[in-house]
Copies of this chain bind each other. A is one copy, B any other.
């Protein structure tokens, strides 16, 4: 089953918004084992939408067309589908009643233009709308199919999961096609470069069958790398299998192998899986040790604190942060000795100060040079991290990170939180 995605909207062509719907649909079609060999975007123009749909029907088994179902004059996807089906639009009285009810229950007058959303190509089935006013459509075109969904992301994803995914699975079963499912897992790392990860995993990747690049051989994995700033460097492992349970078991094996290779080469570089961010790893490590945390941030200006409070329940272990951007705040509030503030000594004094001022078990500090100019004789990208904790001398760690102001801050934050994670638990 090959499904082409057609996104409708002039704003997509003009680059005014990113086409996140096609990305979402591509990911979810792949998870169902549905091939999607082409995507298209087209503007709010009747003839060009018709041409895009005909092009897609010629090279695919079906289409998901996204957008252009609303009430205004430039919502013309319904008309274009009716032309491709060669049928008239028919007003659906059930949908009319539903739209009228929706307006009256909110005590609002319904503009007549809203009834355009009840016009349905003759022969199409309706995907009932639960979150907005425009219904979705399932439109037969010969032995092929055109699904139409609104462009509002949460209406689109709701209709896909509730109606389109089950319909696709039924069609695939009828065609005797169980193409299987494609699932991915992200292994998040910090401490190796992207090329270092690539070289370390080169032999493992080479043992995967070449055909895996096309996702056609069950059990083999495809591996991709993605440097993601404060989210770490991601290793994405993708496998294909007949069913999700088997695919998940395969992913478990591949994850274990990747972890073993990376650990043997570079130690504890894996900090999380999929959506687990560095702050989640820090929260786990602190909970394991039963410790509270206070920060002193100069370079990162509150960025590390703002990440830590993302973790639900952070209030049980996170005390706060002294964002000591001005040197005087370092001296007066944190008790840093007057002198260069981009230094190991300052980092240690800041960590001790954070612990004392905020009353935490652990103090973590970050100082350095974000740029554009050097400071205290240190070049842009210089970072010093201080770590104060019970039963240990206060330590400092120095390193350099690349990039502009924003990237220096991101790298410094993840590097400092990763240092903390590795020194706990």
User: Which residues of A does B touch, CB under 8 Å?
Assistant: 11-20, 22-28, 30, 36-45, 48, 51-52, 55, 59, 74, 182, 184, 213-214, 224, 226, 236, 238, 295, 297, 300-306, 308-310, 312, 314-315, 318-326, 328-329, 332-333, 357-359, 370, 372, 405-406, 409
Contacts and interface: CB of A to CB of B under 8 A. Distances in A.
Contact of A15 (B24, B295, B329, B405): B24
A22 B37 contact: no
Contact of A59 (B14, B51, B305, B314): B51
A295 B323 contact: yes
B37 A45 contact: yes
Contacts of A297: 302
Given A15-B22, A319-B325, 4 more contacts: A11-B224, A14-B182, A302-B321, A303-B306
A59 B50 CA distance: 13
B37 A40 contact: no
A217 to B, nearest CB: 15
A306 B332 CA distance: 21
Most buried by B among A23, A26, A74, A325: A325
B22 A20 contact: no
A14 B38 contact: no
B321 A321 contact: yes
A253 B36 CA distance: 46
B16 A41 contact: no
A41 B38 contact: yes
Contacts of A357: 333
Contacts of A224: 11, 16
Contacts of A359: 326, 328-329, 332
Q: How many copies does the complex hold?
A: 2
A43 B37 contact: yes
Contacts of A40: 38-41
Given A305-B325, A321-B323, A324-B320, A27 B15 contact: yes
A22 B9 CA distance: 14
A325 B320 contact: yes
Contacts of A13: 26, 30, 36-39
Contacts of A55: 55
Contact of A19 (B22, B238, B319, B333): B22
B323 A320 contact: yes
Given A224-B11, A320-B325, A38 B42 contact: yes
Contacts of A405: 310, 312
A319 B357 CA distance: 17
Given A15-B26, A39-B40, A329-B358, A323 B301 contact: no
Contact of A302 (B20, B22, B238, B302): B302
A114 to B, nearest CB: 15
A145 to B, nearest CB: 19
Nearest to A51: B59
Contacts of A182: 14
Contacts of A306: 300-303, 305-306, 409
A236 B302 contact: no
14 contacts: A14-B182, A19-B19, A37-B43, A38-B48, A38-B52, A301-B305, A301-B308, A306-B306, A310-B405, A312-B405, A315-B326, A320-B329, A323-B323, A326-B358
